[in-house]
Structure 1
Amino acid sequence: YKSIDPEKVSVHFANNPLAALSFSNTVIVASIHTRKLHRDILEKAGANVISLDEICSSPIRDGAGFNEQYGLLGSNYTNDNSVKLFPRDCDAFVRELQKELFDRTGKKIEVLVYGDGAFKDPVCGIWELADPVVSPGYTDGLSGMPKEIKFKYVADNAGDKDPSDAIREAIESKGEMDKYGHCTLGTTPRRMTDLIGSLCDLTSGSGDKGTPVVYIQGYFDCYLDD
């Protein structure tokens, strides 16, 4: 950034967003997942705040790209004159694709548009999710969070029962299970779109694999299924 204009650009590091007000009363908030919090803090201090989701949120000329919901958030560098914005109209796209797949195959297939996965690399510490959301569009069957038992916990605490029988009973009765009970300990409560989108991102990556589609089978299979 400093190389853009070394005489005018200076870089300062701070943990408190209010530190920006030492240099200007107008602040562009570039954070992604904490943007609303940072905006609120700065505006309460009297700052004039602009966030990235407000930039490129409408076309600046005929034919220009825009994303009314996310603006520049989730965009990718293309060249010095253009960026590729986060996709929009994804809800309509996934429903149209699901319908076409059903018309052609007779199978109801869930469809999801995904970007960055929601995970942090344990070695280099990079937080992968640089997009505002994992999935900007998905079909209805992917809504919500899975309700699962902790397989190992139930098996290890079967007592006098056969572990297989204990697991079967726990799965059959999980509709009445306390989602904060012992049987669920260690099952991280995450949305299915975040889980599946992360799986897709890990599979396809963003390098030179050229993977246009990730087709997942068996994700909703159950241990009790034949």
Structure 2
Amino acid sequence: MGRRVGTVSRGIRCPIIREGDDLAQIVVNSVLEAAKSEPFFVRDCDVIAVTESVVARSQGNYASVEAIGQDIRNKLGSETIGVIFPILSRNRFATCLKGISLAAKKIVLMLSFPRDEVGNQLLTEEQLDEHHIDPYQTVLTLEEYRSLFGENRHPFTDIDYVAYYTEVVRSSGAEVEFVFANHAIEILNYTDKVINCDIHTRKRTKRILQEAGATVCSLDDILTSSVNGSGYNAKYGLLGSNKSREDRVKLFPNKCQDLVEDIQKSILEKTGKHVEVMVYGDGAFKDPVGQIWELADPVVSPAYTEGLKGTPNELKLKYLADNDFKELSGEALRNAISARIQEKDDNLVGRMETEGTTPRRLTDLIGSLCDLTSGSGDKGTPIVYIQGYFDNYTNE
């Protein structure tokens, strides 16, 4: 009888990671110790995934709000700065906003509505409909916003982000003015020095503002090099950062390709098995209740081994069963489908028998699985070990 279990995702516990730790050695040892403990066997094509948080922590990739402020003063001056399209997040943006506010005398904070870029709710669509407001034609001041909608609290965190961000800016010694608008160009009515804080649309927003004559930094332009010994990320800057303390952020890991390759090499030396390895951050999925798209990082995976490039090349079993082999059942159906899988081309793009499969990158799919497995709280499993992901119906 063939194998009865397909893909298995395991959260692997490991020691608490500190700056300077040999993370590659810790990951390898933790996986091999878990394999003895459970037990399971390391196999070719298994996947080891390590959360970006412990990678950055082992690198000591942190920066203070003072370093953020200094970098912004160097690039934009210290008068009025427009801060546009930030996400609504205590963990992801509030500490960055504190650093930005240290650089300026005044912050003009422009929020998109009814939701931020990743789906956090500032208003509901029903509230807009009730007042006949087209969010793509309407610009609101803070007074107009409060008059129309009053206080609005995030459905999950119970935070009024307008009030919260007001306090963050003022506690850093800057004035704050709010604008609610969905067109980047609106900020130029207030200042031509702008930080655009959107993540996945940042290049377009920056281009629009620069073509209009603004001096612009995206979050990925801030802390691209060290400021007074701070951490940095040469590619992503502040994008992907998290709150570490009230006055410090942990940045996205800097240069971690060597890490995944070292782990892969060490597992091969110790077990004779060729595994794939990746670093993962946020998964790329959307919450059906809160409508939050869980991807505040600039990418799901900043580093991965060669075998994780590309997209799945899979046939849709139910398509084959309902169409090509609709007259078959039982062992005859199993044999026919198994033969079709074994004979499939290396590139099935555009073929009807792939209809309904997921045309996403492997790293995005596996990263989502890892994010859901490890969680973001106290599970203590920053390493995820996946088996059977590259199997199909024919594997014994």
Smaller-chain TM-score bracket: over 0.9
2-side partners of 1:213 and 1:25: how far apart?
44
Partner of 2:222: 55
- Superposed displacement of residue 159, structure 1: 3.6
Q: Give 3-state SS (helix, strand or coil) of 2:387's partner.
A: coil
CA contact (8 A) 1:113 1:138 kept: yes
Q: CA RMSD in A?
A: 1.6
Are 1:171 and 2:341 counterparts?
A: yes
| Aligned residues of 1:155 and 1:166 also touching (Cα < 8 A) | no
How many angstroms apart in 2 are the aligned matches of 1:116 and 1:178?
28
With normalisation by structure 1, the TM-score equals 0.94
Q: Of 323, 329, 351, which residue of structure 2 is paired with 1:181?
A: 351
- Report the secondary structure of 1:32's partner residue: coil
Distance 1:21 1:163 in 2: 65
- 1:207 correspondence with 2:372: no
1:100, distance to aligned residue in structure 2 (A): 1.2
Match of 1:88 in 2: 254
- State the distance in 1 between where 2:326 and 2:248 align: 63
- Residue 5 (structure 1) shift: 1.7
Deviations 1:104-139 (CA, angstroms, capped at 9, x unpaired):
111111111101001111111111100000001111
- Name which of 149, 162, 166 aligns with 1:2: 166
Aligned to 1:12: 179
SS of the residue corresponding to residue 83 of structure 1 reads strand
What residue in structure 2 maps to residue 106 of structure 1?
272
2:295 maps to 1:129: yes
1:113 match: secondary structure:
strand
Unaligned runs of 5+ in 1: none
Structure 1 residue 187, shift from structure 2 partner: 1.0
Partner of 1:118: 284
SS of corresponding position for 1:164: helix
State the AA in 1 paired with 2:166.
Answer: K
Aligned to 2:307: 141
Matched, 1:152 2:318: yes
Rounded to whole Å, the distance in 2 between the matches of 1:132 and 1:168 is 39
Alpha-carbon distance in 2 for matches of 1:15, 1:192: 33
For residue 202 of structure 1, give the secondary structure of its aligned residue in structure 2. Answer: helix
Alpha-carbon distance, 1:141 to partner:
0.9
Structure 2 CA distance, aligned partners of 1:169 and 1:53? 49
Indicate the SS of the match to 2:377.
coil
- Structure 2: runs of 5+ lacking an equivalent: 1-164
Larger Cα-atom Rg: 2
Tell me, in whole angstroms, the C-alpha distance in 2 between the residues paired with 1:183 and 1:59: 51
If asked which structure has higher relative contact order (CA below 8 Å, sep 6+), I would say 2
What amino acid sits opposite 1:213 in the alignment? I
Aligned partners of 1:125, 1:182: CA distance in 2, in Å? 31
Question: What stretches of structure 1 move > 3 A for 4+ residues in a row?
Answer: 159-163
